[in-house]
Copies of this chain bind each other. A is one copy, B any other.
Amino acid sequence: MMTELKELVWKANQDLFRAGLVILNFGNVSGLDRRRGIAAIKPSGVPYEELKPEDIVLVDLEGGVVEGGLKPSSDTPTHVELYKAFPAIGGIAHAHSEYATMFAQARREIPCYGTTHADFAQGPVPLTRQLTEAEAGGPYEQSTGRVIVERYVSAGLNPLVIPAVLIAGHGAFTWGRTAGEAVQAHVILEHVAKTAYGTLVLNPDQAPLEPYLLDKHLQRKHGPHAYYGQKKGETP
Contact = CB atoms under 8 A, between A and B. Distances in A.
Contacts of A71: 229-230
Contacts of A106: 113, 198-199, 202-203, 206
A198 B170 CA distance: 14
A99 interface: yes
A53 interface: no
A227 B74 contact: yes
A23 B191 contact: yes
B230 A188 contact: no
A200 B202 contact: yes
Interface stretch (A38-46, A148-156, A157-165): A38-46
Interface string A64-105: 000000110010000000000000000000001011011111
Contact of A191 (B98, B137, B200): B98
Contact of A44 (B130, B200, B230): B230
Given A24-B184, A197-B202, A201-B201, A229 B105 contact: no
A230 B23 CA distance: 18
Interface residues on A, range: 35 or more
Contacts of A187: 23-24
B102 A198 contact: yes
A104 to B, nearest CB: 7
A171 interface: yes
Nearest to A201: B201
B130 A236 contact: no
Contact of A213 (B96, B169, B196, B209): B169
A161 B44 CA distance: 21
Nearest to A236: B24
A194 interface: yes
22 contacts: A24-B184, A26-B116, A45-B234, A74-B220, A96-B115, A96-B191, A98-B198, A101-B116, A102-B195, A102-B199, A102-B202, A105-B195, A114-B169, A136-B210, A136-B213, A137-B212, A137-B216, A140-B220, A169-B209, A197-B201, A197-B202, A201-B201
- 4 smallest A-B Cβ distances: which pairs? A45-B229, A102-B198, A106-B202, A106-B203
